[in-house]
Amino acid sequence: MIAPLGTLVFLATLWLLVVVGAAVLEESGARIAVALKGKAVQRPSLVPARLRMRQRLHKSMRVPAAWRAAA
């Protein structure tokens, strides 16, 4: 009776590993393939856009010294 239960546990664990592995490959498979080819991974362009937006906000908030003194 122990052998069938052990086999069932083994097969369930194996299935779980396959499902988790497939999810990981689906998420980062393209990056892994590019890395294996020896090419540089291109970063998403969201980070530079955020930095540019912050720089624009900081520039627009700057006021002359005379205005700051008057406040």
Calpha distance 35→28 (Å, rounded): 11
Mean pLDDT calculated for residue range 17-31:
88
**CB neighbourhood size of 32 (10 A):** 13
So what's the pLDDT on residue 15?
A: 97
H-state helical runs in 2-64: 2-37, 46-61
Query: b vs e for 9-18, b when ≥16 Cβ sit within 10 Å of the residue's Cβ?
Result: eeeeeeeeee
Calpha distance 59→66 (Å, rounded): 17
**Res. 24 pLDDT band, cuts 50 70 90:** confident
Mean pLDDT of the chain: 78
Domain ranges in the chain are 2-70
